[in-house]
Chains A and B, each alone.
Chain A
């Protein structure tokens, strides 16, 4: 058998996982390569995307925000309007359909804020698959409503109490669960991370975002954007928004990481800005870690960006200088969360608010004929209680 290293993005990526899982990822890659070009599979997926997920999502011209900032024209890609309220559904529908075609009976997934967990539970309900979600105990507390949603959709939710009891521990625990039961189970990884082929599969399912942006903007403006701005945790919505622009060198690609309380504090999750290259969760990439390679506990107000690593393709785009990565603090993100709510009547997910925050800054310093596209990856209903508490209001969900 020819066992060549696979799935590299520059020096990043790879398959750093226990031997027990290797055949599972190999089978997954083989199945993906088969179905990727299968017109029947693609037709079914497009149908799910459109009829069930609500695609294509709108590209909305934020007229008031544009006028208020007085610089570049700002468009919002409304992934928040998708079924289940975020871009996560794109990847989940793709992977669940793939799992079904592979004959799997059961889905498992990690979740941070709960968006990916809810999306996976949703797809499992639709496609008659069993579903178990692993979620850090801290996040279970912070996102009680999403835990209920997953149960309502028929999934079992496991609380993960190890380590920092957040997203990274949920990923570790889901990997452990997968090594325990592989035959009938597919691990629906939620971002462009983990071992090959996940970063590629998830990117391909999310690439529909930039495909649509390009078509929609060409139709409206007859040209490409000056910049595409998206938030980056693991990086799936950002890769989705960047993908079809990577070859268009004149389009700036800007990823917004969570700086938490600031990149000079320990309470940050800005992986590319503060981390170094390492190997974890199946991939080589940038990670927040100490001098001995111990993975750092990270922090962000946004549970979805609260992860110590980043997808390997982002690490490559950074190394090559093709994409830029900036760090946005909790304060800036919360300001942007409130700003967009008031000026456009759109409540963004606190994750997406990181991209809105940077877009505000960028728009002011741009010309009127520049066009910025902000990927509004999710809606902010889930965050209202937390933001109220951040502002000192004592409210319960």
Chain B
């Protein structure tokens, strides 16, 4: 499977989960549940102590995961098990320091060995990306670029070098469910499309089937994280079933 496969059957549902919350065994079950429910690609968050792009839900999830003893190596081991059953594209999402401290090349080679298809680092903007994107590409993994409502004059440059898919940040601020997404998503998407043919996935703030449907009108995929991690926070070890039900709802909604 390659990244493009996530977008070939209609609108892609791209859930994000924080690995290790409440523990890595449950994370493994949640991945199976999402896969079975019809997720197109799963973003696996490797927890970081100080996630500056995250809202309260994923901050707390990261904190619980680290308290449970989650490490980069343990996440790799979990993914190795998962890969025996799950074939849809997987992406790692974490922060620059997690990758840097592991050794940048080492991190990407390990990821490639696990058939991880993409890596997303929200604190590595275009200006700093070569240090990561070049060794990432050499390992055969796509380094995902983010575009925000504030990107303005940067959109063209970023879009033209983007690989895999574009992660379009829906609105200002950090991750987390919002009642409404303001701003002109349509024209931002249109601008991105004029510079690249790769798929566009919208994330940040999408919390319900309705808002997923709304965003899918513009984009090729929708990314949902905080809504899922809130279920994990509320249900702990019983979360996999709840996540399955929620994911089914979204997948169905995206078919309409």
Residue of A nearest to B161 (CB): A3
Question: Which residues of A sit under 8 angstroms from B154, Cβ to Cβ?
Answer: 1, 3, 19, 22-23
Cβ contact of A22, chosen from B63, B100, B127, B174, cutoff 8 A: B127
Contact indicator B152/A23 (Cβ below 8 Å) = yes
Contact indicator A293/B100 (Cβ below 8 Å) = yes
Contact indicator B128/A182 (Cβ below 8 Å) = no
Question: Which residues of B sit under 8 angstroms from A176, Cβ to Cβ?
Answer: 52-53, 55, 173-174
Report the separation of the CA atoms of residues A6 and B125 in the bound assembly, to the nearest whole angstrom.
Answer: 12
- Decide if A15 is an interface residue (CB 8 Å cutoff): yes
Contact indicator A162/B66 (Cβ below 8 Å) = no
- Decide if A262 is an interface residue (CB 8 Å cutoff): no
Stretch of B2-10, B80-88, B142-150, B229-237 that contacts chain A: B142-150
- Decide if B59 is an interface residue (CB 8 Å cutoff): yes
- Decide if A328 is an interface residue (CB 8 Å cutoff): no
How many Å from the CB of B72 to the closest CB on chain A?
Answer: 5
Question: Which residues of B sit under 8 angstroms from A172, Cβ to Cβ?
Answer: 50, 52
Given A17-B125, A18-B122, A23-B154, residue A180 in contact with residue B172 (CB < 8 A): yes
Given A16-B124, A18-B125, residue A278 in contact with residue B50 (CB < 8 A): no
Contact indicator A20/B172 (Cβ below 8 Å) = yes
Report the separation of the CA atoms of residues A102 and B12 in the bound assembly, to the nearest whole angstrom.
Answer: 42
Contact indicator A20/B52 (Cβ below 8 Å) = no
- Decide if A295 is an interface residue (CB 8 Å cutoff): yes
- Decide if B209 is an interface residue (CB 8 Å cutoff): no
Residue of B nearest to A297 (CB): B49
CB neighbors of A among B89-136 (8 A):
95-102, 122-128, 130
CB neighbors of B among A17-61 (8 A):
17-24
Contact indicator A293/B150 (Cβ below 8 Å) = no
Between B146, B148, B157, the greatest number of chain A beta carbons within 10 A of the residue's beta carbon is seen for B148
Report the separation of the CA atoms of residues A168 and B95 in the bound assembly, to the nearest whole angstrom.
Answer: 16
Contact indicator A23/B100 (Cβ below 8 Å) = no
Question: Which residues of B sit under 8 angstroms from A20, Cβ to Cβ?
Answer: 148-150, 169, 172-173
Contact indicator A16/B150 (Cβ below 8 Å) = no
Question: Which residues of A sit under 8 angstroms from B71, Cβ to Cβ?
Answer: 292
Contact indicator B174/A180 (Cβ below 8 Å) = yes
- Decide if B165 is an interface residue (CB 8 Å cutoff): no
- Decide if A358 is an interface residue (CB 8 Å cutoff): no
Contact indicator B52/A295 (Cβ below 8 Å) = no
Contact indicator B127/A6 (Cβ below 8 Å) = yes
Given A15-B125, A172-B50, A176-B52, residue A279 in contact with residue B156 (CB < 8 A): no
Contact indicator A278/B101 (Cβ below 8 Å) = yes
Contact indicator B153/A279 (Cβ below 8 Å) = no
Report the separation of the CA atoms of residues A181 and B49 in the bound assembly, to the nearest whole angstrom.
Answer: 24
How many Å from the CB of A167 to the closest CB on chain B?
Answer: 12
Given A19-B147, A19-B151, A20-B150, residue A3 in contact with residue B126 (CB < 8 A): yes
Report the separation of the CA atoms of residues A278 and B71 in the bound assembly, to the nearest whole angstrom.
Answer: 17
Contact indicator B97/A280 (Cβ below 8 Å) = yes
Report the separation of the CA atoms of residues A248 and B213 in the bound assembly, to the nearest whole angstrom.
Answer: 64
Residue of B nearest to A278 (CB): B97
Between B66, B95, B158, B174, the greatest number of chain A beta carbons within 10 A of the residue's beta carbon is seen for B174
- Decide if B13 is an interface residue (CB 8 Å cutoff): no
Question: Which residues of A sit under 8 angstroms from B152, Cβ to Cβ?
Answer: 23
How many Å from the CB of B226 to the closest CB on chain A?
Answer: 14
Contact indicator B50/A15 (Cβ below 8 Å) = no
Report the separation of the CA atoms of residues A350 and B127 in the bound assembly, to the nearest whole angstrom.
Answer: 39
Residue of A nearest to B130 (CB): A5
Given A169-B50, A294-B48, residue A14 in contact with residue B128 (CB < 8 A): yes
How many Å from the CB of B142 to the closest CB on chain A?
Answer: 17
Contact indicator B52/A294 (Cβ below 8 Å) = no
Report the separation of the CA atoms of residues A162 and B56 in the bound assembly, to the nearest whole angstrom.
Answer: 9
How many Å from the CB of A30 to the closest CB on chain B?
Answer: 12
CB neighbors of B among A246-291 (8 A):
276-282, 287, 289, 291
Question: Which residues of B sit under 8 angstroms from A293, Cβ to Cβ?
Answer: 48, 72, 97-102
Contact indicator B173/A5 (Cβ below 8 Å) = no
How many Å from the CB of A151 to the closest CB on chain B?
Answer: 25
How many Å from the CB of B51 to the closest CB on chain A?
Answer: 8
Question: Which residues of A sit under 8 angstroms from B126, Cβ to Cβ?
Answer: 3, 19, 22
Given A168-B50, A176-B52, A293-B98, residue A1 in contact with residue B153 (CB < 8 A): yes
Contact indicator B125/A163 (Cβ below 8 Å) = no
Question: Which residues of B sit under 8 angstroms from A278, Cβ to Cβ?
Answer: 97, 100-101
14 contacts between A and B (CB under 8 A): A3-B126, A5-B128, A18-B169, A19-B151, A22-B126, A23-B153, A162-B63, A163-B50, A282-B123, A289-B97, A292-B98, A293-B98, A294-B49, A295-B50
Chain B residues with CB under 8 Å of chain A are 48-50, 52-53, 55-56, 59, 63, 66, 71-73, 95-102, 122-128, 130, 146-154, 156-158, 169, 172-174
Q: List the 8 shortest-distance A-B pairs measured between CB atoms, nearest first.
A: A293-B101, A180-B173, A293-B97, A20-B148, A279-B96, A294-B49, A19-B146, A19-B148
15 more CB-based (< 8 A) A-B contacts, given A19-B150, A162-B63, A169-B50: A1-B156, A5-B127, A6-B127, A17-B52, A18-B169, A20-B172, A20-B173, A22-B127, A163-B49, A176-B53, A176-B173, A277-B100, A280-B96, A292-B73, A293-B99
